[in-house]
Amino acid sequence: MTELKSYPVWDATVRWFHWINVVCFIGLLAVGVAILNAKVLGVSTDGKILLKTVHVWIGYAFALNLGWRLLWAFVGGSWSRWRAILPGGRGYLAKVRTYITDFRAGQPRQYLGHNPLGRLAGSLLLLLLLAQAVTGLVLAGTDLFYPPIGAWIAGWIASPGVDPATLMPYAKDSYDTAAYEAMRSFRKPFITVHYYGFYVLLVVAVIHIAAVVVTELREGGNLVSAMFSGRKILSKSPADQPEHRQ
């Protein structure tokens, strides 16, 4: 009979980050799609401003949650830190090859933390999330004059004699035309990254979910429930136990 053993792995911060991130991602996805299709949906200008406002406020929660997770990677528990997340380190490529070989042979190793491929996928996800957060904050300032750069943008584009604090979105009659066009040029690379980054992130998120399902079916363990309980239940000695001791 196979002996199962329970290990403490994911601390509360990691678990809360994960599920808050999921909720924010779904909310941003839904509102973002509505914004992109506002004309088709017949949304008025005021309605579009409302959608963007909701998107920004969800984005703030998303960015704060991500920022806390990135900070936690410096001070959190053993399995939360950068050394347990980022790919690389001594013998990393050999571990990737071994993991793939064992997985194909139907005898995959079990890991307490991320497996070698999971480190690569997790790092890519964090990078994409960071890019969306940074570009989103810039767009919040250029679209709605929201923090952190909204006051600066408003001061940049306000017409002479107009108080920047009174500027409203889409009120072009109160904008300096030349300054507004310059601001739009400044904004363009950020919206390009945000727009295409959204699609890349969506694809990677789908791959991530599929990989979790396949890995749990093939490798065993309890990847999904562990993100609720914080504990992994394994039937084999974990391949990464010597690297990080609880």
| Per-residue model confidence (pLDDT) at position 73 | 96
Domain annotation covers residue 244: no
For 89-117, the pLDDT digits (tens) are: 888 899 899 988 988 888 888 888 898 98
Q: Where residue 246 falls among pLDDT bands split at 50, 70, 90?
A: very low
How is residue 82 written in tokens?
């950068």
Residue 234: C-alpha distances to residues 106, 117, 155, 246 (Å)? 16, 19, 58, 15
Q: Where residue 23 falls among pLDDT bands split at 50, 70, 90?
A: very high
pLDDT > 90: percent of the chain:
72
Domain annotation covers residue 220: yes
Q: Indicate the average pLDDT of the chain.
A: 91
pLDDT > 70: percent of the chain:
96
Domain annotation covers residue 87: yes
Q: Which domain holds residue 105?
A: 5-236
Rounded CA gap, 246 and 236, in Å? 17
Give the total number of structural domains in the chain: 1
Domain annotation covers residue 192: yes
Domain annotation covers residue 177: yes
| Per-residue model confidence (pLDDT) at position 11 | 95
Q: How far is CA 69 from the centre of its chain?
A: 10
What is the CATH number for 189?
A: 1.20.950.20
How is residue 128 written in tokens?
């994409």
Least confident of 3-12, 37-46, 172-181, 220-229: 220-229
Across 177-215, b (16+ Cβ under 10 Å) vs e yields eeebeebeeebeebbebbeebbeebeebbeebeeeeeeb
| Per-residue model confidence (pLDDT) at position 242 | 57
Domain annotation covers residue 76: yes
Domain annotation covers residue 246: no
Read off the pLDDT of each residue in 219-245 and give the average, rounded to a whole number.
80
Rounded CA gap, 74 and 237, in Å? 27
For 159-206, the pLDDT digits (tens) are: 999 999 999 999 999 999 999 999 999 999 999 999 999 999 999 999
| Per-residue model confidence (pLDDT) at position 2 | 61
Measured in degrees and rounded to the nearest 5, phi and psi for residue 112 equal -75, -50
Cβ atoms < 10 Å from Cβ of 41: 13
Rounded CA gap, 197 and 203, in Å? 10
Domain annotation covers residue 241: no
| Per-residue model confidence (pLDDT) at position 245 | 46
